[in-house]
Structure 1
Amino acid sequence: MNAQLSFEITGHTRVLGILADPIAHVKAPAGINAIARRRGRDAVMVPFQVAPDRLSAWVASLRDLKSFDGAVVTVPHKVAIVGLCDRVSDRARAIGAANVIRRAADGSLEADMLDGAGFVAGLRGAGIEPRDKAAYLVGAGGAANAIAFALAEAGVARLTLANRTLDKAEDLAARVRAAFPGVLVKVGTADPSGHDLVVNGTSLGMRSGDSFPLDAAWLAPQMVVAEVIMEPAETALLAAARAVGCRVHPGRPMLDHQLELMADYFGL
């Protein structure tokens, strides 16, 4: 048995999974298993590496797996999983992707998206309240989609969406407006000036030599600059923001808070 596991797996143990391809990089199992132990739950999360062309068959098999309670879903399956579940939350359907599924007692499957909720919970856990703020978000991929909807749900007064592919930003803006008509949503440029909260929702910054996701010359001391990237802990964008005098918010709290939301979703 792995030395990190300080509990015994028995015939009563409930099984959770994380679904990805590739999968060696995932961090959720350690976090979820720690939460299960802290909450006194007899459950374990294990990795499931499933190729995209086998996803449908794998999901179908879960309906008959009575010891299975749910799974985290990540790249490249977040979009495809939506069409394979019996029930999908309103936010996951609007976003067009899900990152958690769970099995009901009758074998039916439901899906939800917690990326954005985890990001907002991480902000609030650090004492950063997005309500009534002017927020700028760069990116229109899966994480950025979820964060855009979550910021609107959290009550930002204004949301500016920027992306290198303009059509994707405009599509995201239209979907957020439809879901939250009370929020002013517009498409912006690489200039983040005039905003209280600036969020990088792209992968730019993960690798040395990456370009900035936005024009850092327009960062100002009154801004909070936040990341979704966890490694490195301080991206070039956060370093530039700190040098200007901005408050910075790294990517790790998004995962930490989302793990708690995931555990709640799975009934741990």
Structure 2
Amino acid sequence: MTGTSGIPISGTTRLYVVLGDPVAQVQSPGLLNPLFARLGLDAALVPVHARPEDFDRIFGGLRCIGNVDGIFVTVPHKAAARLLADRCSPMVEITGSVNALRRESDDSWYAENFDGTGFVAGLVDAGHDPKDRRVALVGAGGAGSAIAAALLAAGVERLSVCDLDVAKLGGLRSRLDTHWPGMTATSTEPDLDGADIVVNATPLGLRPDDPLPFRPHLLPSGSVVADIVMKPRETRLLREAASLGHRVHYGIRMLDGQVASYRAFFGLG
């Protein structure tokens, strides 16, 4: 039997899954399945639509399946996955969210988060190094938390984080201040004033009728506008920002920046 990407599927195939709700937008199978093929690995990554009310049961079932070696997590499950992991990396402890888990030799599950490091790697590769820059981040959820930590680790001059969830925002700032004291400002409204780079780390843009995460006409002149939404590639936010003369940074670059980390994390050669 052969999968849609041309990967032979058999009784010896090792499985990886990506859990999300929705899941139609995920791009990781299109990057990692060809990688498995190039490396000659008997492995396949498949998307699994997991609604929030079913997530615990689905995760519990997957960890019992003997040939599942890895679980990727996308919106809205990144915080929930943190509570179900057996052990977590320092980055997960800081951010409170997970985007990848691997099965260990003792069948326990170890959690990591590469969203932030992948996002920063993508920025740097595109010529938008955030070091010594002022960054406004909209969204303090799973991906936003990881991106905030990675931006601070990359040496931004100032980071402002916006989210409507005051409790979530306060928890993130407390964790960030433990490692980078006084470097993060928080608010319930986007603070775009003087920002060199503005990041949408919310799911807004996945659906065509989504509202904008912030008003593009308020962007400072010359700012870079980045989105983490991968499908559609050109969100309404990026389209409107580009029409106003801003440089834009596409969401797929975050995943591109994570591939090398995934290879090392899962021992893929």
Identify the TM-score tier after normalising by the shorter chain: 0.7 to 0.9
Q: CA deviation at 1:85?
A: 2.0
Number of equivalent positions: 267
TM-score when scaled to structure 2? 0.85
Paired with 1:7 and 1:229, the residues of 2 have a C-alpha distance of: 27
For residue 169 of structure 1, what is the aligned residue in structure 2? 169
Q: Which residue matches 2:232?
A: 232
Greater shift after overlay, 97-106 or 219-228? 219-228
Runs of at least 4 residues off by over 6 Å: none
Structure 1 contact 230–250 (Cα < 8 Å) conserved = yes
Equivalent AA in structure 2 for residue 266 of structure 1: F
Distance in 1, Cα, partners of 2:70 & 2:239: 38
Residue aligning to 2:43: 43
Per-residue deviation, 1:160: 0.8
Cα distance in 1, alignment partners of residues 166 and 16 from structure 2 = 38
Give the Cα–Cα distance (whole angstroms) in 1 for the partners of residues 211 and 55 of structure 2: 34
Distance 1:101 1:192 in 2: 34
Residue ranges of structure 2 left out of the alignment (5+ in a row) = none
CA distance in 2 between counterparts of 1:208 and 1:22 reads 14
- When residues 126 and 65 of structure 1 are mapped into structure 2, their CA distance, relative to the original with a 3 A threshold, is same
Aligned-partner residue type, residue 239 of structure 1: R
Shift of 1:252: 1.6
Deviates more, 1:34-43 or 1:192-201: 34-43
Which structure 2 residues correspond to residues 187-266 of structure 1 after superposition, within 5 A?
187-188=186-187, 189-266=189-266
In 1: Cα distance, 2:243 partner to 2:22 partner:
36
Q: Which runs of 5+ in 1 are unaligned?
A: none
In structure 1, distance between residues paired with 2:240 and 2:21: 33
RMSD: 2.6
Q: CA deviation at 1:153?
A: 1.6
Gap change, CA 1:85 and 1:141, over 3 Å in 2: closer
- Report the 3-state secondary structure (helix = DSSP H, G, I; strand = E; otherwise coil) of the residue aligned with 2:36: helix
Partner SS state of residue 193, structure 1: coil
Q: Greater shift after overlay, 187-196 or 84-93? A: 187-196
Give the C-alpha shift of residue 166 in structure 1. 4.2
CA distance in 1, matches of 2:207, 2:136: 23
Question: Which residue in 1 is equivalent to 2:132?
Answer: 132
- Tell me: CA distance 1:174–1:17, structure 2 relative to 1, closer, same or farther (3 Å): same
1:31 deviation in Å? Answer: 1.9
Cα drift, residue 266 of structure 1: 1.5
Secondary structure of 1:19's counterpart equals: strand
Match of 2:31 in 1: 31
- Paired residue for 2:77? 77
Offset, 1:156: 1.0
Q: Say if 1:16 and 1:194 are closer, same or farther in 2 by CA, change over 3 A.
A: same
Report the equivalent of 2:153. 153
Distance 1:105 1:186, change over 3 A: same
TM-score of the superposed pair, with normalisation by structure 1: 0.86
Counterpart amino acid of 2:202? T
Task: Map 1:52-67; keep pairs closer than 5 Å.
Answer: 55-56=55-56, 59-60=59-60, 65-67=65-67
